[in-house]
Structure 1
Amino acid sequence: MTDAGGRGRAVIDERPWYVVNEVLALLIECVALGLLCWWGFATGGHAAISALLGLGAPAVAVVLWWLFAAPRAKLRPALPGVLLVKGLVLGGGAAALYGIGHPVGAVVVGAVTAANLTVAEVFRRSVPGDGGPVPGRR
């Protein structure tokens, strides 16, 4: 995107829902890591196992995200692979919440995550300059 003078500066206000969805995605990612951590510490019976699961589960999620799903991922698979990794990590947060005894919260987290991923994919397909529709433009 460029500003009115064509100078290449990003104009965020042309797609405010995109920005809101990206902020929500970041929050969902942080919540998923927190839920995986909570699950790990709540699941292990012994202190060492709890610590291993509580720190290991989110660490594995971070590595998977860094390798395959981050915007500058080291190994960028095709879109189905990226969505699979995102589903595993973010869905893992919802599954972790279910696993510690909060099924309603898990459904809410799962639904918000699915909606966020869907909206992100719609916005990805409508990037300005590719000839596709741009939300908020007439």
Structure 2
Amino acid sequence: MVLNLVLRFLLELCVLMAFGYWGIQTGKDMFFKLLLGIGAPALFVVLWSMFGSPKATFPLSEIWHFMFEFVIFSLAVIALYATGKTQLATIFAILIIINQILLSVFHQR
């Protein structure tokens, strides 16, 4: 089901935004706001391209890939909670769970 893969891509973009928002909200002054606001999403992009994406440089076995995704997406949910966006974090977590279930049901891993 193509819509589930579209949802997956949108969730990955939301991870970028969550890390960026967390970085901007967490930084104490403008330098650290920019450093964290750009650095956290950049770190995600590097890690995702190396291990998480379908064309990853270092593809992981299925269980390790699931664990990697679990950690990355959980950190994004925690980042939203930490910045006070609890409702958004809850909705995001629910969408991640639904997406994971559908990925398994439709064998889209």
Q: TM-score, normalised by structure 2?
A: 0.91
Aligned to 1:40: 23
Aligned to 1:94: 77
Aligned to 2:107: 124
Aligned to 2:56: 73
Cα distance in 2 for residues equivalent to 1:88 and 1:56 = 18
Between Structure 1 and Structure 2, how many residues are aligned?
A: 109
Question: How many angstroms does 1:121 deviate by?
Answer: 2.1
Question: How many angstroms does 1:88 deviate by?
Answer: 2.2
Runs of 4+ aligned residues of structure 1 deviating over 4 Å after TM superposition are: none
Q: TM-score, normalised by structure 1?
A: 0.73
Bigger Rg, which one: 1
Q: Which runs of 5+ in 1 are unaligned?
A: 1-17, 128-138
CA RMSD of aligned residues (A): 1.6
**Identical-pair percentage:** 30
Q: Which runs of 5+ in 2 are unaligned?
A: none
SS of residue in 2 equivalent to 1:124: coil
Cα distance in 1 for residues equivalent to 2:21 and 2:85 = 12
More helix by share: 2
Q: Are positions 1:105 and 2:88 aligned together? A: yes
Q: Are positions 1:64 and 2:62 aligned together? A: no
Cα distance in 1 for residues equivalent to 2:41 and 2:19 = 6
SS of residue in 2 equivalent to 1:41: helix
